[in-house]
Amino acid sequence: AGDALSIEGQDTCPFYTAVTIRGVKVGESPEWLRTRLESIGLRPINNIVDITNFVLHELGQPLHAFDAAKVDGGICIRNARESEIFSALDEEDYKLNASDCVISDHSGSALALGGVMGGQDSGVTESTSDVILESAWFDPPSIRRTARRLNLHSDSSYRFERGVDPQGVTSASAFAANLIIRLAGGSIEGPTIHAGAPPELSGTVTLDPIRLQQLVGGAIPMNKAANALERLGLTSTGENQWQVPSYR
């Protein structure tokens, strides 16, 4: 990623990706997208923001779009400076502490409060022509502490503080970027840049047949138990051994 993207606070943000899309035309979303958002109680804003909200609810991965013209140089993910003031999208100012995750540019200006809310001055507007699309994985306890201390909650913080699938970060970004090009025009500039690495959350668990029978009194035979685990996305790796997918 070079100078374009760096992570200084890997304890709060282990993995961050960004893709630049140039030449977009910000405007009203098509009817199908507006209808889908309205059906779950969301107010359509513009095609770029609507796409990030749609992908959030479709795939469970929060995204954020910055106006590239308002980003000075590259993006730096860092811990906030003690008592740093952040102006959020809700038009309120918040006093941060050193445990909060901030997305800033090379000037040091805070563009977003990582995993919680975008900044008042860096968001997409009608005059935006180039966007930087963020997709990342934030540490759940860190997001939970920040959101609760500031009493600042969003659809993004709701998901990040409960944990999202780290293996879904890049696929959600690609899905959203494709939708942006389809609905707002423009073209992707270069590859998606990334810093850090997604945490490995999957692993193997053992299904103990004796313990299973003790718990359910023989009501669930092993073949039905195996079928239930497969429906949950687990994969058999040997006798009574099951690989758990990262989204579980």
pTM: 0.87
* Per-residue pLDDT reduced to its tens digit, 175-192: 999 999 999 999 999 999
pLDDT of 14: 95
3-state secondary structure labels for all residues of 32-62: HHHHHHHHCCCCCCCHHHHHHHHHHHHHCCC
Q: CA–CA separation, 195 vs 232, rounded Å?
A: 31
pLDDT of 2: 38
Q: What is the mean pLDDT of residues 93-122?
A: 94
Question: ∠ CA 38-168-112 to the nearest 5 degrees?
Answer: 65
Q: What is the mean pLDDT of residues 99-113?
A: 93
Q: CA–CA separation, 128 vs 241, rounded Å?
A: 52
Residues 138, 156 contacting (CB under 8 angstroms): no
% the chain with pLDDT above 90: 85
Report which of residues 30 and 10 the model is more confident about. Answer: 30
- What's the whole-number average pLDDT of the chain? 93
Is the pLDDT at 1 greater than 90? The verdict is no
Q: CA–CA separation, 65 vs 1, rounded Å?
A: 19
pLDDT of 244: 92
Is the pLDDT at 3 greater than 70? The verdict is no
* Per-residue pLDDT reduced to its tens digit, 35-49: 999 999 999 999 999
pLDDT band at residue 9 under the 50/70/90 scheme = confident
* Per-residue pLDDT reduced to its tens digit, 145-155: 999 999 999 99
Q: What is the mean pLDDT of residues 93-112?
A: 93
pLDDT of 217: 86
